[in-house]
Structure 1
Amino acid sequence: MQNQATKKLSPFKRPTSQQAALIDQAKDFVRAHLHDTTPAVFVITGDAGTGKSVVLSQLFYDLQQAANHRTSVMANTQNYFMVNHPELLKVYRNIAGELPGLLKKSFQRPTSLINRMNKRHETFDVGVIDESHLLLSQPDHYNNYYGHNHLLSLLKLCHVLVIVFDAHQVLRLKTYWTQDRLKRLLAPYTQKWVHLDHQFRMQADDSLIDWIDHFTGDRTLLPLQASFRHHYDFRIFPDAEKMRQAIVSQNKRVGLSRIVSTTGYLSTLDGGRHFITEGDFRLPWDQYNYTATPWAEIPETINEVGSIYTCQGFDLNYVGLILGPPVKLSADGQKITIDTSKITDSESFKYRADMVDSQTVLAAKVQLTLNAINVLMKRGVMGLYLFAHDPALRQKLSQEYGRLNQQN
């Protein structure tokens, strides 16, 4: 029986007309450039929740079916699906284990594939990359990557790449990308760009999506609107423990509901348990998941706090988000500010040789933190619950929410 994450990405999930047209465009592009002497790249852009992964899952399934058909132009091609996210890779390999024509070994992390191909002096035909904004853009010796850029390394090994890219989901300096950076890197290659713009994940009114985009974009704190709760459960909590209890209740009712948090609380990969404490609320951060089941689908993780690293790319039914110490209200009470001194995720902000200017690094830290908030706010299909650590922001949001409830 398929779990919920696998169902979401199954190639048998019926695509929308926009998604189906995009899949056909991608297949035409692959066939047209399969034998070019220089690599070609098909780029799919779109915000979180617009169905990019669904498109890639169906596309790769179709390519592999064609590769197994002896009369197809794709016959006997060697193709790989890549994602630089261990939790999401588990989902794709679970899919491969359930469907004919798909092999688990066709789903790889980029570093593993690059190192193996280089060691054997081999190449491949088509690479499909989900979450390409998570590709390394500098060496990472700790993870055995000694090249300068994942994407450049892969372009040396294949004929065609199909990638999805969302600049708002860049989360670490070692995977630091912007759309301009990507365009400059791809300038020498044949390329085609397409965009997905319809929000599929959240059953939310466009006004709530706009509120989130302003919160994490220009950092403007727009007024809360009654329309936020049309077909969607949006709530502000002044008490983190009460938010946890509400999430536990929703998890019992519909499943796949979790507490998640931004940075701002101690967390190190030392094998120990590190707790987030907010008043009566006290839960440990998520632990490294050594199982084949994604973190969000392990029942016991209802008693943990998820991070961006365990939740990115996944649908939750309900998400309770703790806006940690770096997320504050501005002095005038109108905008969000990011206090970079409160960031505790040191792994995300390791030194880059090409980013030595302190103002550039500071701006990048602010942007990456806002990106993470955007991703976490858009995890919930049915509902989003918020709690803010900063007393001024908590009071502002609670007052706005109280005003909203009085209107109703």
Structure 2
Amino acid sequence: MLPQTEKLSSAQTNAAITKFSLSRHLSAEQKDLLNDVLSFCSAHLSDQSALLIIEGAVGTGKSVVLNAIFNTIQTRARSKNPDDPMTGTRNMLLVNHPEMLKLYRNVAAETPTLRKADFDRPTTFINRLHKTNQTADIVLVDEAHLLLTRADRYNHFQQQNHLEEILALARVVVVVFDPLQVLKFKSHWSADLLDRFKTGRATQTLHLTTQFRVEAGPEVRHWLDQLAAGHVGKHPQDPDFDLRVYDDCAQLYDDLKERNNEVGLCRLLSTYDYSYRLDGEDHFIEEGRFRLRWDRSKPDEKLPWAERPDTIDEVGSVYTIQGFDLNYAGVILGPSLFYDAQTDSIRVDPARYEDSAAFQGQSGIVAPQMAKERIILNALNVLLTRGMKGLYLYAHDPALRERLRNS
């Protein structure tokens, strides 16, 4: 199968950045949340420590509204209004996701009130402020479910918890959190652990509930929610959302490339069930007559994986696509997911999951086998909810393919 190179207009290639465009209208719910966050920040700037938590499922626009909040904060911080409590404040937005960090910094380059230096990864921020003996005023954290909950010496984090360190270094911390997007033991968050940080400081929790990404009715969204939880419901029909299940992964890829030529921002994704190593070599996913390489590691590439036109010729993982929107997503359900006819459900086999790094550091994890299964289903949830206009599915397990096609 020969790869096909995507040729897109500038509008299509910049579609991911457009997601964060400050000219994009926020919903009434998002505007209310923005105002509530700004009020909380102003009210607690003189406190020693305050914590605001924004909760919302995938596709509710958490990153979009966070970017709008941060732009407002930095606009006020860089103004010369002596009556504004935010004037002259030192603020940062952190995200423990290299692809999302690229997106934020690309947006900053197009926004007069933002600087690329306003954005960083948590470990870099923590180590720099400890070294310089500095503190910040307001710190926003996107994808806070990716914050570390234990030391990671390989990545130069010596302490035990990212959030604990950030709270010690900032007066006000605002985090965006979704427990169903926890993907590793070393960032194994729970409601109880998060609640621990509410003690002894001013706290508030806000919620986003309206789904914006998946342009489908409630039946499709419910079907996706159920599938991500391991349940196969009746296959819904929706004229506004193109949902297909394939017997042939190569045909799925051919159809996805056609959609990509038409509208752009279509990518093939897979569960982490096929061998992949960061050794500079290409590693391939093979299913029948389908064969395509995993996404190549390009840490110095300025564009995020989802935005690069050449990545139509690759298969992305949960780590390259988390936080991004696609027009159409093709998703391969790999060998770790199989159909159990007795329970009429999707079962999980962690032994077939190739992301061994996700399960490193089991100490302190209650019921590690169940936690492994939860992490795999969380990753599935992320993959299934990337497509705005459509989702094309293929399952490695023949029984699961048959059940999905005849649901």
TM-score bin, normalised by smaller chain? over 0.9
The answer to whether 1:369 aligns with 2:376 is: yes
What residue is the counterpart of 1:385 in the other structure?
A: 392
Deviation for aligned residue 1:209: 1.3
The equivalent position to 2:141 in structure 1, one of 125, 129, 141, is: 129
Q: 1:95 aligns with which of 100, 107, 131?
A: 107
Asked if structure 2 preserves the Cα contact closer than 8 Å seen for 1:12 and 1:58, the reply is no
- Counterpart selection for 2:26 from 15, 27, 30: 15
Residue 230 of structure 1 deviates from its aligned partner by 2.8
- Give SS of 2:275's match: coil
Which of 315, 323, 335 is the equivalent residue of 1:325? 335
CA–CA separation in structure 2 for the residues paired with 1:392 and 1:188 = 52
> What is aligned with 1:293?
303
Q: Deviations over 1:128-159 (max 9, x none)?
A: 11100010111101111101000000001000
**1:327–1:339 contact (8 Å) kept in structure 2:** yes
Amino acid at match of 2:292: L
Aligned: 1:257 with 2:250 = no
Please give the alpha-carbon distance, in whole angstroms, between the structure 1 residues aligned to 2:21 and 2:129. Answer: 28
**Distance in 2 between residues matched to 1:194 and 1:59, nearest whole Å:** 14
Match of 1:224 in 2: 235
SS in 1 for 2:211: coil
Give unmatched runs, 5+ long, in structure 2: 1-9
Contact 2:252–2:394 under 8 Å retained in 1: yes
Determine if contact 1:93/1:107 at 8 Å carries over to the other structure.
yes
Give the structure 1 partner of residue 165 of structure 2.
153
Contact 1:205 1:230 (C-alpha < 8 Å) held by counterparts: no
SS at match of 2:205: strand
Equivalent pair of 1:170/1:177 in contact (CA under 8 Å): yes
Q: Which runs of 5+ in 1 are unaligned?
A: 401-408
- How far 1:182 moved relative to its partner? 0.9
What CA deviation, in whole Å up to 9, does each residue of 1:106-125 have, x standing for no partner? 10000001000000010010
User: Which amino acid is the alignment partner of residue 232 of structure 1?
Assistant: F
1:114 pairs with 2:146: no
- Written as runs of structure 1 = structure 2, the 5 A alignment for 1:312-351 is 312-332=322-342, 334-351=344-361
Residue 10 of structure 1: how far off its partner (Å):
2.0
Percent of residue pairs bearing the same amino acid type: 42
1:326-379 per-residue CA deviation (whole Å, 9 max, x = no partner) reads 011013261110011111101111123322x6xx11111100100010110000
Q: 2:219 is matched with which residue?
A: 207
Alpha-carbon shift at residue 187 of structure 1 (Å) = 2.5
Corresponding residue SS for 2:231: coil
Name the counterpart of 1:185: 197
Name 1:405's counterpart in structure 2.
none
TM-aligned CA deviation for residue 68 of structure 1: 1.2
> Which of residues 250, 264, 274 in structure 2 aligns to 1:241?
250
Q: Could you tell me how far apart the structure 2 residues matched to 1:266 and 1:336 are?
A: 22
Would the aligned equivalents of 2:362 and 2:368 in 1 still touch at CA under 8 Å? no
Measured in 1, the distance between the counterparts of 2:153 and 2:18 equals 35
**Secondary structure at the counterpart of residue 253 of structure 2:** helix
2:386 counterpart of 1:399 = no
1:353 counterpart letter in structure 2: S
SS at match of 1:9: coil
Q: Which residue in 2 is equivalent to 1:404?
A: none
Partners of 1:309 and 1:127 lie apart in 2 by: 23
Contact 2:228 2:384 in 1 (8 A): no
In the aligned structure 2, how far is the partner of 1:180 from the partner of 1:324? 32
After TM superposition, give the deviation of residue 17 of structure 1 in Å: 0.8
Moved more, 175-184 or 189-198: 175-184
Number of corresponding residues = 393
Q: CA deviation at 1:185?
A: 2.9
Contact 1:251 1:257 in 2 (8 A): yes
The 3-state SS of whatever aligns with 2:54 is strand
**Aligned partner of 1:284: which letter?**
R
Secondary structure of the 1:325 match is coil
**Alpha carbons 2:223, 2:236 under 8 Å: kept:** no
Deviations 1:23-69 (A, max 9, x none): 000000000000113x1111110100001011100000000010012
Matched, 1:35 2:46: yes
Taking the aligned partners of 1:187 and 1:196, their CA distance within structure 2 comes to: 23
Q: Which amino acid aligns with 2:116?
A: K
Provide the secondary structure at the position in 1 that maps to 2:19.
helix
Are 1:277 and 2:289 an aligned pair? Answer: no
TM-superposed deviation, 1:190 = 1.2
Instruction: For 2:337 and 2:220, locate their aligned partners in 1 and report how far apart those are by CA, in whole Å.
Output: 19
